[in-house]
Chain A
Amino acid sequence: MNYEFNWSMLLEEPYIDWIIEGLLNTIQLSLMAWCIALTIGIIIGSIRMMKSPILRFIGTFYVEIFRNIPLLVQLFIWFFVFPLLLPDNLMRAWNSLDGVPFLTALIGLSLFTAARVAEQIRSGIKSIPKGQFNAAFSTGLNTFQTYRFIVIPYAFRIMIPAIASEFLTIFKNSALTLTIGVAEITAAATYIESDTFRGIEAYSVASLAYMFTTASVVIFMTWLENILRIPGLIGKK
């Protein structure tokens, strides 16, 4: 293997700009998608635990559809098919928007991850003892209040590890949005590679960015988990 390394070229214009832009896009996209996915996921996850069979069916339907179609296929559908299904005037408005790829990526990533979050929420809620629900109802709280004040704060703390790992999943999955033209960090690496043929340097930047973020999130979440630990729960050291 003869390959001459040239790490300093990464700091040259325009490559450094591509890297910075890629990093910003990746972080922005994954943070925004994560917030939306958490919101939708919490709603869908709670709906699946309701008594009404119709609501439960809607929740299950959502989860099964969005988690069983590969993310790449979902992104293609949002990008290629969805605008065609809009009425004419809406389609023109959609196409004239700035940053359609980013917006499409945001929708696709959020809805895909929301299904996974919903599953985590459901198993989190399931892990809450039935007595908690009964106790809440007996103090006069209604279903919404029970969820709002008792179940969700409780389940949320149990689910911190799962929610953190969902952020990391969304963070890594955001790399797929390069297929619909989002200039995130993996895309930036491929641009640099095809411009300079320096694949090792270019991909190293992207890999290091992912690894660094993953490590930081894991460390932060371990710390948070320690602080928010529910006293008296079994299974905690």
Chain B
Amino acid sequence: MDFNVIIDNFPFLMKGLLTSFQLAFLTIFLSLSLACLIAVGRISNKKYVRYPSAIFVNLLRSNPLILIVFWFFFLVPLITGTPLPAFGSVLIAFVVFFSAYFAEIVRSGIQSVGNMQIKAAQSTGLTYPQTMRLIILPQALRNMLPALVTECVIVFQGTTIAYIIGMREFLHSTSLVAERTIRPIELYLFAALVYLIICFTGTRIATLLEKKE
């Protein structure tokens, strides 16, 4: 084994890792925003809001991420008429897919706070948006924080799937170098180690947050 190949190709590999991080952060930010809307829709008492949100969530949660990526890779150019770059197409698929998972976390976070709090808050004269913002959401956020962090780790692991449609993220960069230098052992083990360190840190944080409660 010769780990010099990693040092030689370090800038190239790190560029891939940066793309992975960009994809993960954009996905988390956008899908979490979308998820809050869906979660509120899921617990709404209006049927025409509740049912579509429930269908959206269950539709996406019963499909594999890779299939959703294929769907958007095929559908987006068909609808817009022009092919999107891989990053855009993957990002849309990821945001749609993970918003369903984040929505379930946000929903159970809101529901964990308890109905009486809403009534108590409203009896002190707060309006519904005020109740949500000042009373429910801060508590809900604290309750769902460990699950949110765990889901962020899953998003980061999920970025490897962008490899399949040829986006130059970390795993793709690794495999390109592995093919070029014919050193698959060193490179794939290196990739595994990098993912392990990043995701282990994430799951550690989630465990600590859980214990703090």
> Complex Cα distance A182/B173, Å?
23
Nearest B residue (CB) for A70: B157
Nearest B residue (CB) for A198: B74
Q: Does chain B have a CB within 8 A of A178?
A: yes
Least CB distance, A123 to chain B, in whole angstroms: 11
Cβ contact within 8 Å between A69 and B192: yes
Please classify how large the interface on chain A is, using the bins under 10, 10 to 19, 20 to 34, 35 or more.
35 or more
Return the contact of B66 from the options A64, A68, A186, A193 (Cβ within 8 A).
A186
Least CB distance, B64 to chain A, in whole angstroms: 4
Which of A76, A80, A172, A193 has the most chain B CB within a 10 Å cutoff?
A: A76
On whether A203 and B67 interact (CB within 8 A), knowing A81-B184, A81-B189, the answer reads yes
Cβ contact within 8 Å between B189 and A77: yes
Nearest B residue (CB) for A212: B62
On whether A193 and B188 interact (CB within 8 A), knowing A69-B195, A71-B157, A80-B178, the answer reads no
Q: Does chain A have a CB within 8 A of B25?
A: no
Q: Does chain A have a CB within 8 A of B71?
A: yes
Cβ contact within 8 Å between A72 and B196: no
Which of A3, A68, A85, A199 has the most chain B CB within a 10 Å cutoff?
A: A68
For A84, what are the chain B residues with a Cβ–Cβ distance below 8 Å?
Answer: 184-185
Least CB distance, B31 to chain A, in whole angstroms: 18
Nearest B residue (CB) for A76: B188
For A203, what are the chain B residues with a Cβ–Cβ distance below 8 Å?
Answer: 67, 70-71, 74
Cβ contact within 8 Å between B199 and A72: no
Cβ contact within 8 Å between A69 and B199: yes
Q: Is the interface of A mostly helix, strand, loop or mixed?
A: helix
> Complex Cα distance A81/B1, Å?
12
- B:173-199 near A, CB below 8 Å: 175, 178, 184-185, 188-189, 191-192, 195-196, 199
Cβ contact within 8 Å between A175 and B62: no
Q: Does chain A have a CB within 8 A of B63?
A: yes
Q: Does chain A have a CB within 8 A of B56?
A: no
Nearest B residue (CB) for A185: B67
For B49, what are the chain A residues with a Cβ–Cβ distance below 8 Å?
Answer: none
For B163, what are the chain A residues with a Cβ–Cβ distance below 8 Å?
Answer: 72, 179
Cβ contact within 8 Å between A77 and B192: yes
Least CB distance, B33 to chain A, in whole angstroms: 25
Q: Does chain A have a CB within 8 A of B86?
A: no
Least CB distance, B19 to chain A, in whole angstroms: 15
Cβ contact within 8 Å between B185 and A189: no
Q: Does chain B have a CB within 8 A of A74?
A: yes
For A175, what are the chain B residues with a Cβ–Cβ distance below 8 Å?
Answer: 64, 66-67
Cβ contact within 8 Å between A189 and B67: yes
Least CB distance, A55 to chain B, in whole angstroms: 20
For A206, what are the chain B residues with a Cβ–Cβ distance below 8 Å?
Answer: 67
Least CB distance, B63 to chain A, in whole angstroms: 5
Return the contact of B188 from the options A67, A81, A174, A190 (Cβ within 8 A).
A81
Cβ contact within 8 Å between B67 and A176: no
On whether A72 and B62 interact (CB within 8 A), knowing A81-B185, A175-B67, the answer reads no
For B63, what are the chain A residues with a Cβ–Cβ distance below 8 Å?
Answer: 172, 207, 210-211
Least CB distance, B190 to chain A, in whole angstroms: 10
Cβ contact within 8 Å between A207 and B195: no
Can you list 23 A-B contacts (CB < 8 A)?
A64-B200, A68-B199, A70-B157, A70-B171, A73-B171, A80-B184, A81-B188, A85-B185, A172-B64, A173-B64, A174-B64, A175-B64, A175-B66, A175-B67, A178-B164, A186-B67, A189-B67, A190-B70, A203-B67, A203-B71, A207-B71, A210-B67, A214-B61
Interface contacts beyond A67-B199, A172-B65, A189-B67: sample of 20 additional A-B pairs, CB < 8 Å, sorted by A: A1-B78, A67-B203, A68-B195, A69-B195, A71-B157, A72-B163, A73-B191, A73-B192, A73-B195, A77-B192, A81-B185, A173-B64, A175-B64, A176-B64, A178-B164, A179-B164, A186-B66, A200-B74, A211-B63, A215-B62
When A and B form their complex, which 4 residue pairs have the shortest distance between CB atoms, in order from nearest? A199-B74, A214-B62, A175-B64, A68-B199
A residues at B contact (CB < 8 Å): 1, 3, 64-65, 67-74, 76-77, 80-81, 84-85, 168, 172-176, 178-179, 186, 189-190, 193, 199-200, 203, 206-207, 210-211, 214-215
